[in-house]
Amino acid sequence: MLKRQVPTMAADDPRQYMLNENLEIYEKVGVPSGALEMHFHNFYEIMYIIEGEFTILVNNTNYVLNSGDFILIDINNLHHYTYTDSKHENNKRILMWVSKKYLDQLSAPRYKLDKCFKNGFTPAWRFPPHHREQLYEYMLQLLYISAEDNRNNTENKLLQNAYTTLFFVHLNKLCQRKEFSFSPENTYNDPMIRT
């Protein structure tokens, strides 16, 4: 079977800004040596761990993520990748960047698609398998759409809007459930970092 091509971002790519105004989604493999510095964005960031382990510091807390885990990083939250010797080389993940303006455009008057970033729980999540598989499928569809030349493709723009909306509605429903947010056993504080 022929494997579909998806957009990738090199692990050592230091870029921390969007080239598109609405949404960017990539697959990344290996140690993200380009993201070792503390930084923040003026857009939302979501990472899904496909394989391996990944540790990230968000607002003075390290989150140890494993296959199937999500991290949701709000606008202007300080964060950076935390290297763990010989544990992250085989890591594979999907990185999604999405602008507030785009989510606001897709939202309904009484339903904001970005509420998953504002719930007051931890930014790290471990959902039951059937839910994370559904979210992963939406992300794959967004990867496939973004791999195509979409400059003047109305059909792909509509599909991107639809899959983005489906992804965030499903994610928002899950993020209302505290039992899916990370427990303290999966985190540790770094007293050397002051945010």
Structural domain includes residue 193:
no
Give me the mean pLDDT over the 170-193 stretch.
79
Structural domain includes residue 195:
no
Structural domain includes residue 6:
no
Structural domain includes residue 8:
no
Number of domains in the chain: 1
Structural domain includes residue 12:
no
pLDDT at 191: 56
Structure tokens at 89: 């080389």
Give me the mean pLDDT over the 140-169 stretch.
89
Indicate which CATH number applies to the domain containing 81: 2.60.120.280
Supply the range of the domain harboring residue 74.
23-183
Q: Where are the beta strands (DSSP E) in the chain?
A: 23-29, 44-51, 53-58, 61-66, 69-73, 79-81, 92-98, 124-126, 187-189
Mean pLDDT of the chain, nearest integer:
85
Structural domain includes residue 10:
no
pLDDT band at 152 (very low <50, low <70, confident <90, very high): low
Structural domain includes residue 188:
no
Structural domain includes residue 128:
yes
The dihedral formed by the CA atoms of 57, 98, 24 and 2, expressed in degrees to the nearest 10: 90
